[in-house]
Amino acid sequence: MTMTTETRKFEAEVAQVLHLVTHSLYSHKEIFLRELISNASDACDKLRFESIAQPELLAGDGELRIDVSWDPAARTVTVRDNGVGMSLDEVVANIGTIASSGTRRFLEAMSAEQKTDARLIGQFGVGFYSAFVVADRVTVLTRRAGAPAGEGVKWESDGKGEYSLEGLDLAERGTTVILHLKAGEDEFLQPWTLKSLITRYSDHVAFPIRMPLEADGKPGEEWETVNAASALWTKPKSEISDEDYQSFYKSLGHDFNDALAWTHNRVEGSQSFTTLLYIPAQPPFELMMGGRDERKGLKLYIKRVFIMDAAEELLPNYLRFVRGVVDADDLPLNVSREILQQNRQLERIKSACVKRVLDLLEKLARDEPEKFATFYKAFGNTLKEGIVEDHANRERIAKLLRFASTKGEGAAQTVSLDDYIGRMAPGQETIWYITADSHAAALGSPQLEAFKAKGIEVLLMSDRIDEWMLGSLSEYAGKKLQNVAKGELPLDEADKQRQEEASKAAEPLLHKLKELLGERVKDVRVSARLTDSPSCLALSDFEMAPHLARLLREAGHDAPESKPTLEINPRHALLQRVEAEGDESKARDLANLLLEQAEITAGAQLPDPAGFVQRMNRVLLG
Ligand code: ADP
Ligand code: MG
């Protein structure tokens, strides 16, 4: 193939990424090496996979490897692999256009987060561009495995909006990336710098990474392998140190921080497989950006051959924070994603993964509460999705949940359902909770008054996901979970009697309020919930909490309109004032304010805020 040099523009979003990369990513610039090695390793994985069906692709060069070298005179660093390589079209598609939605998400994340840290780049599938953090010109020479020597491609760019393409002869398959270092980046010309970066970030890449031995201040003829180059998960646990596990995690997860915990298991039997699963200490950026699509993080190997990223096939959504490796012995090597999705063996592996992760979390909760708290802060809300999604494990997941509580420590989410049950009063059969849109709103709700008076603990839930989750968690350990605002209260006989008497005595007042409020309420009744406040809203079992209805409407969804039931505390001075008030318009103001304050504390939307303010002012001045 002969082709003259052709210049093309980067796609707009790629150009934006490059601009960001070259202008604002200063911290941790050394990350470029990890990213280029990771791409080289992916390319070797891909070739090994393709060669199962087409062994001739490996022809003449069966030992996949990655070579890193430097040239002090030319001021270049070179990363070369003999992996799958790229055709011309692939070069354009993979490094000239948006290869994945990661580019867009990276831009969003970078503009949302003022900090611009090069460490993040690999998490978004735009790692290649990190080359431009240290280089002002990048040259890629590549040839697709199986293509003739004449179909080599040279790609070159200064990262400023354009790149050039040229066809040329390349004797060997694979990809060479040459970084022409910027002024001031000479530290990367030191072989020991490169070597220590490789051992730090890429030690557990499963292919040998080689560097030339230095001779007279220059790369010599002899090469040495500088990484461990083994599939870590295939070793016996006793031979793997914590450091090994951590450094493998970092290269696997493109993370800079240590993992919080991991679980490494081998299952032998009719179907054998190995799992090595990690829980990160902090949410990866992807997860924070709400990226539920295109889940990455769990690599599927079959007999040590990398097959694909199979997070979606092997982990349920609510465990999407888990990173790791599954290596199966008995799956067919030519499996496709479609086959995977229907594969029975895979179902078994998936449930084993879930079990391992839940086991690990239980162990953390029991033995290392501080680590568990770190986990819960980062991923507790993600885990809650499991209550809805994973019926089979609902009880196990519920056991791991932690909540704020009227008997807990402030807003901290530390109380488990088992803690709650352990403190229940004799005869108490219900786990009580309240939902609101903030901790303060939950804690300050008038609905809690009767519970406080009786010393009954109430779980305080204020995460957006709680209300949704609770829809699928009506029972735990044989105890009913119930919202304090809904249904019947835990009244004893004496309470009930008192309640009936109070209702009877308040009949004229209830009648008056119903008249005054008219269409605004479904009913007015005497509350058993209140001791200090004058009024609150009561919900029937199937009614949506008012704060949730408001959130839904704010998000542009339909929420059922339902008239509130007002509960009152007839002993409160305000109620006595309504009863005594002879002036009808004054009494109407008071009645409406009683309803409106109940709506406000329940987090509902006031139907007529201006009317509320006018009423309040009339009462304040009157
Ligand atoms: P990611 O690796 O997450 O896909 P990158 O920005 O690091 O994102 O790389 C973009 C794409 O460029 C890769 O997906 C791959 O298709 C291609 N690529 C990069 N480096 C190589 C390489 N050494 N060999 C073959 N293809 C490569
Ligand atoms: Mg990459």
For 402-483, which CATH class?
alpha beta
314 CB near ligand 1 (under 6 Å): no
Q: How far apart are CA 294 and CA 240, in angstroms?
A: 31
- Give the pairing of strands 209-215 and 66-71: parallel
Full DSSP string of 450-519: HHHHHT---EEE-SHHHHHHHTT-SEETTEEEEETTBS-----HHHHHHHHHHHHHTHHHHHHHHHHHGG
Q: Give the CATH architecture of domain 493-620.
A: Up-down Bundle (1.20)
Q: How far apart are CA 134 and CA 27, in angstroms?
A: 11
Please check whether residue 139 is in contact with residue 163, taking contact to mean a CB–CB distance below 8 angstroms.
no
Domains 232-367 and 402-483 share a fold: no
Cα of 132 from ligand 2 centre, angstroms: 14
Q: How far apart are CA 435 and CA 583, in angstroms?
A: 38
Helix (H) or strand (E) holding 19: helix 12-24
What is the pLDDT, as a whole number, of residue 255? 82
Q: Give the CATH architecture of domain 232-367.
A: 2-Layer Sandwich (3.30)
Q: Whose CA is nearest to atom 17 of ligand 1?
A: 94
Cα of 375 from ligand 1 centre, angstroms: 32
Q: How far apart are CA 472 and CA 323, in angstroms?
A: 27
Over the stretch 477-504, which tens digit does the pLDDT of each residue have? 999 999 998 877 777 788 888 889 999 9
Cα of 615 from ligand 2 centre, angstroms: 63
Please check whether residue 167 is in contact with residue 152, taking contact to mean a CB–CB distance below 8 angstroms.
yes
Over the stretch 337-349, which tens digit does the pLDDT of each residue have? 777 777 888 889 9
Q: Which of 103-107, 226-230, 418-422, 445-449 is least confident? A: 103-107
Cα of 126 from ligand 1 centre, angstroms: 8
Over the stretch 399-440, which tens digit does the pLDDT of each residue have? 999 999 999 888 899 999 999 999 998 889 999 999 998 999
Q: Tell me the CB-side half-sphere exposure of residue 404, using CA atoms within 13 A.
A: 19
43 CB near ligand 1 (under 6 Å): yes
What is the arrangement of strands in the sheet containing 523-526, beginning at the earlier edge strand?
523-526, 565-568, 535-538
Q: How far apart are CA 78 and CA 140, in angstroms?
A: 10
> What residue segments make up the domains of the chain, in order of their start?
6-225, 232-367, 402-483, 493-620
Residues 6+ apart with CB under 8 A from 599: 537, 546, 564, 605, 606
Beta bridge partners of 132: none
Q: Is 600 exposed, middle or buried, given 0-12, 13-18 or 19+ CB atoms closer than 10 A?
A: middle
Please check whether residue 552 is in contact with residue 559, taking contact to mean a CB–CB distance below 8 angstroms.
yes
For the chain, what is the total number of helices (H) and then of strands (E)? 23, 22
Q: Which residues of 609-622 are buried (b: 16+ CB within 10 A; e: fewer)?
A: eeebeebeeeeeee
pLDDT at 272 > cutoff 60: yes
Over the stretch 136-154, which tens digit does the pLDDT of each residue have? 999 999 999 999 999 999 9
Residue from 181, 179, 134 nearest 156 by CA:
179
Percent of the chain with pLDDT over 90: 64
Q: Provide the CATH number for the domain formed by 6-225 in this structure.
A: 3.30.565.10
Q: How far apart are CA 572 and CA 489, in angstroms?
A: 20
Residues bordering ligand 2, an ion, CB closer than 5 Å: 38-39, 127
Ligand nearest the Cα of residue 92 is 1
Residue from 321, 315, 313 nearest 291 by CA:
321
Residue ranges of alpha helices (H) inside 343-479 are 344-367, 369-389, 394-400, 417-422, 439-443, 449-454, 464-470
87 CB near ligand 1 (under 6 Å): no
Over the stretch 237-261, which tens digit does the pLDDT of each residue have? 999 999 999 999 988 888 888 999 9
And the tokens for 204? 């557990």
Residue 133 to residues 35, 218, 309, 412, Cα–Cα distance (Å): 12, 24, 27, 41
231 CB near ligand 1 (under 6 Å): no
- 320 pLDDT band, cuts 50/70/90, is very high
Cα of 35 from ligand 1 centre, angstroms: 9
- 378 pLDDT band, cuts 50/70/90, is very high
What is the pLDDT, as a whole number, of residue 305? 84
Q: Whose CA is nearest to atom 21 of ligand 1?
A: 39
39 CB near ligand 1 (under 6 Å): yes
Cα of 360 from ligand 2 centre, angstroms: 30
How much is the mean pLDDT over the chain?
A: 89
